[in-house]
Every structure is written in C-alpha cells, then in structure tokens.
Amino acid sequence: MKTEVKTILEKVSSGELSVDEALTKLKSEPYKDLGFAKVDLHRETVQGYPEVIYGAGKTAGQMRSIVSEMLKSGCERILITRLDGEQCEILKQSFELDYCPLSRTAVIGSKPEPDGIGKIVVATGGTSDIPVAEEAAVTAEVFGNEVTRLYDVGVSGLHRLLSHKEEIMNASVIVAVAGMEGALASVIGGLADCPVIAVPTSVGYGASFGGLSALLSMLNSCAGGVSVVNIDNGFGAGYLAGMINHMEAKK
C-alpha cells in the first residue's frame, strides 16, 4: 500500500480523478467487504505472495467466502492457521488444500522455493511444544524460507542442545518454542549471534499458568537479540522470522 496515497493524490492533481472519486477510492480500494469480514487483497504486490486467514472463530462458511474472494482476485497461495479438522473437511469439498493436523495449518497452492538470507532454525524444549513449532515452521516455509527443525532440546538436558550448536550458530534467525520454564530462549540467545524469536507455549501444568511462566521468563531473558511473541503464536514467530530472513532483499 506504500505508494497508493501518493498515486491517488497525483491523479487528483492531474485531473485523472475528481475529489469525490479520490475519496471513494481511498475508502473502497484495498479490501473486499464481506460484511462479517473485510478481506485485504494485495493485488499490486509481487505475484505469489501468500494471503493468510486466521481460522479460529470463523465458520467454515465464512472461510469459504474469504478463500473464494482471494482466489478470484488472483491470489495463488493461501495459508490458513488454527483450522480444525472438521472445518478442514468442509473446505476440502470446495478447494484443494494441504492440511497438517499437528499444526492445524492448511496451505492452498504450493510452497515457494526458499529465497531468504539463510536458514531459519525452529527449536522446541519438549515434544509437546511441537504443534506450535510446526505452525511457525510451516508459516516460514510458505513465505519462502528454508527451515531446520530441532525438537526436544530443552535445557534440562543441555547435551542434546549443545550437540546442535552448529545449526544454532549458523542460523539466520531462530524461533525458540518452549513452555514450562521457557529457559530455552535464553540459552539459545546466549549461544547464537542472530535474532531469536521466543514463543512461549501453554504446554505445562501447575504454576505454568497457561504459558505465563514461560512468557515472563522469555521477556526477562538477559541474552541479547531475544524478543517475544504471544503465547502459542507460532504463526507470528514464523512470519517475523521470514521477514527478517528476507531483509537483504529489501533495498
């Protein structure tokens, strides 16, 4: 959307657009209003850039309308997150999609060739953090990144983590996914010299308080280069990791 406002102003200046047309354009352009949702359609961006639908709290019917609208506008690749198996079954009747029940993500269209600066490492503290990690990994892949998965490398068995020191030190960006005490982010942050995106998970019991313990632990990390996203927000971490991993392409 960057240059759109300027373009519209120039068209007004040159007489291509009247003031009222300009106002109308500013209001109606960048999305399709479906009543229950306003669907952003990045028509002018590079072809192949994926659109994303957050599935939670939307009916299968609502999602079908949104997907249809996106495909109609020329979108070639769609990522749906937080998609129940049940909703998925209904969508499958209308669209061809690649569903991962572990991460509850679905992809319409194929994943692109990786074209980032380097590799993104996605690491988890335990086995039960894997669903959130997979959401991050799939998201990163859909946005054109190569992903290395290091699962079950929690800090209480440091040798398991240290045996992957090389992957960690060669990563472009690291997504550290952990519940319980969330110490993984700090330890990885101390070993790596790249940005570390910490994802607390709601995995745990007792005083983990639904991910609060891991969240606080990660926010208080003393290691440089660590930042945090919301509890269980694998998508946000994967998306940001991909954005950072494409920094050099920007200018």
Subset of 169-208 contacting its own copies (CB under 8 A) = 169, 172, 180-183, 186-187, 189-191, 193-195, 197, 200, 202-208
Distance (Å, whole) CA 196 – CA 201: 16
Which of helix, strand or coil describes residue 15?
coil
Closer to its own copies by Cβ: residue 96 or 206: 206
Among 90, 97, 100, 216, binds its own copies (CB under 8 A): 216
Closest approach, Cβ 146 to its own copies, in A, equals 13
Closest approach, Cβ 87 to its own copies, in A, equals 14
Q: Does residue 218 interact with its own copies by CB under 8 A?
A: yes
The dihedral formed by the CA atoms of 146, 151, 157 and 160, expressed in degrees to the nearest 10: -50
Closest approach, Cβ 190 to its own copies, in A, equals 4
Task: State the number of binding residues for its own copies (CB under 8 A).
Answer: 108
- For the chain, helix, strand, coil in percent to 5 are 45, 20, 40
Q: Does residue 62 interact with its own copies by CB under 8 A?
A: yes
The footprint of its own copies on residues 79-118 (CB under 8 A) is: 117-118
Closer to its own copies by Cβ: residue 109 or 189: 189
Positive or negative CA dihedral for 51, 54, 60, 65? negative
Positive or negative CA dihedral for 189, 169, 242, 100? negative
The footprint of its own copies on residues 125-154 (CB under 8 A) is: 125-128, 130, 151-154
Closest approach, Cβ 68 to its own copies, in A, equals 16
**C-beta neighbour count of 21 within 10 angstroms:** 13
Phi, psi of 234 (to 5 degrees): -60, -40
Q: Does residue 41 interact with its own copies by CB under 8 A?
A: no
